[in-house]
Structure 1
Amino acid sequence: MILIRRNKFNILWVVGLSFLLPACNSSTREGINEGQFSTYWYQGKAEINVFDLQQSRYGEVRPGTAVMIFVTEDFSKSKQVKLDNPEKKRSDAQKVLKLNMTREFMTGVYPYNTMLSVFTPVYDDVRSPKLTASVTEWCGQAFTQMNYKNGNYRTSEFSYFESEGDTDSKIGASAEDELFNLIRLNPDLIPMGNQKLIPSLIFQRFAHIPLKAEQATISKKELGSNQAEIEVVYNEIGRKFSIQYQQFFPFEVLSFTETWTKSNGQQEITTATRSSMQMLDYWNKNESIYEPLRKDLGL
């Protein structure tokens, strides 16, 4: 007997235990408990996390809101996009954990809106095949896309600034933005020590620095109360980034902090602290009668 459950983001096929076991054995990532993972992440819902944001911009700290949406979906290995009909292209399908993260805040009279998307394989021990980031405000738009192919990220940058767009390049390093998803899969997947990393795509746009690999040091420490922290330090560009999370599955992200020390010694510190979380099939709740759910989330 075949059970098929469909929705916009997840397609789960189950053909008894004999089908599940090969899928489990095909995993090349260590430390992922298939039973735990599938029960939580394959229930046909997304995890929506709302954060109180204190965003540093133009020398001031701006209150705002950040939202992290984690969800699994079937991803095309060849096209590096979400598959519309994965049941017809099983050989091309790759299960990924997707993060969509938004930030909204005001700078004086005009608003800022950012979005980051990261697609990280659940079972294949490879770099995230695709990352995108956008920044929109009244002055214009900027967009970055990175696709992993043949051992490098092929990057395309578009910007309303003459000096920053439009450009293409290749970068042979892992992405800092991938750390959120690796924590959710299993924090032990993150390598410690000196690493070459591509700094946060949103930070790169805000700081107006070249998009390239930077030398970084990654460390982990326990905070007590079943919480831990991953910290990334880039000495050359003056960036420090830390993520605080629960040490037990599903390794929920509780907060993050960004510190940028500029060449003149001035520091800009951005913090985000989680205020609410819900599992929700939000794509099925796009009618006006569901708008009160935003209040439940604190939005």
Structure 2
Amino acid sequence: MRYMCMLAVAVFFISCNDSKSDSKEQLCDSDIFKKYWNRGNAEISSYSLQQAQFGHLNNGEAIMVFATEDFRKDKHVQLESDARDKAIKVLKLNFIKRFVTGIHDFSMYTSVFTPVQTTVFSSTLKVSNTNQDWSGQTFLQLNFRQNGYQVLGKSYFEEEIEDDYHIDKAMLEDELWNRIRLVSCNELPVGKVILVPGLASLRLRREKAMPSIADITLEPYKGDSTFKGDSLMDYRIKYAESQRSLRIIFEKHFPHKITGWEESYQAQNQVLTSRAVLKATIQNPYWEKNMPADTIYRKKLNLKY
């Protein structure tokens, strides 16, 4: 495959800090991490969204739900039995985008499961993506198997009826959101990196999940006041072949809150930039908040859809 020639390319790392740390302690082992992520709450963030589709920017909203959970290494599902020897702790991201194009609407849902012990388990175990719009539904899932990813997909569309193939090991763009939360800035990948592009973006562009070469940079945010937060960092991913780019804006200091993102690519002979800006963040055990009175939390998040 064409990207194999790049496997020897080094992945470089840069530091957000003035001095390098020699500590080998993982962030997940620190008290600050445990107090934030292991208290039985999820972090829920809402974003105002302008999503490019059909040659226009369309209004909508996005939701990011981060939570830790016990995850079975063999079955790639949440642990619900006493088989704890077969489970590891993961950071789960449920990433939802909803937007309207003319009369009909889109709902895109991506779930990512990344082990918190990033030096012990270096690969994300699973990412799945479902999409619904008034044309039909699609499903795509990547499971880490045999030192690579098994790709399984189903689609309403004739040219994409079914996918079932294996790709060599590569980092997933979808897992970068989790890694921002799981590691220090100086541990994030930069330089020439082999990435599988984000599944939601692949869906909108109707492309297959295959590794591609990306150039990644990380530097302090120097833009205008569109994105707000403390000591913001600007994480940029650029794909030369597809001419697509993604920038993620997040806070330098723990818990590295994501304050927004921008994604640009060419479609219908023009380049449009999707943008999401943070509205609100709460910590909440949402799985317990399922009564009509609990809609108050949606109001706190300023959710409209």
| Deviation of the 1:117 alpha carbon | 0.3
| Deviation of the 1:32 alpha carbon | 4.1
> 2:112 matched to 1:118?
yes
1:22 is aligned to none
Q: Secondary structure at the match of 1:79?
A: coil
Percent of aligned pairs with the same residue? 33
The match for 2:157 among 149, 157, 161 is: 161
> What is the aligned-residue RMSD (CA, Å)?
1.5
> CA–CA distance in 1 between the matches of 2:268 and 2:171?
25
The match for 2:211 among 210, 213, 216 is: 213
On the 8 A contact 1:102/1:115 being kept in 2, the answer is: yes
> CA–CA distance in 1 between the matches of 2:86 and 2:29?
24
2:77 is aligned to 81
1:11 is aligned to none
Deviations 1:186-214 (A, max 9, x none): 23332211111100100101001222111
Count of residues in Structure 1 that have an aligned counterpart in Structure 2? 269
| Deviation of the 1:262 alpha carbon | 4.2
1:233 is aligned to 238
1:48 is aligned to 44
> CA–CA distance in 1 between the matches of 2:276 and 2:98?
12
| Deviation of the 1:30 alpha carbon | 3.6
> 2:282 matched to 1:278?
yes
Matching of residues 1-299 of structure 1 within 5 Å: 30-85=26-81, 88-123=82-117, 124-172=120-168, 173-186=170-183, 187-223=185-221, 225-262=230-267, 264=269, 266-299=270-303
| Deviation of the 1:161 alpha carbon | 1.0
Q: Secondary structure at the match of 1:80?
A: coil
5+ long unaligned stretches in structure 1: 1-27
Structure possessing the higher relative contact order (Cα contacts under 8 Å, 6 or more residues apart): 2
> CA–CA distance in 2 between the matches of 1:190 and 1:147?
22
Range with bigger deviation, 119-128 or 274-283: 119-128
Query: One-letter code of the match for 1:89?
Result: A
| Deviation of the 1:282 alpha carbon | 1.1
| Deviation of the 1:261 alpha carbon | 2.5
> CA–CA distance in 2 between the matches of 1:248 and 1:199?
26
On the 8 A contact 1:183/1:189 being kept in 2, the answer is: no
> CA–CA distance in 2 between the matches of 1:41 and 1:119?
15
> CA–CA distance in 2 between the matches of 1:261 and 1:78?
39
| Deviation of the 1:33 alpha carbon | 4.6
Moved over 3 A (4+): 28-33
5+ long unaligned stretches in structure 2: 1-23, 223-229
> CA–CA distance in 1 between the matches of 2:204 and 2:135?
13
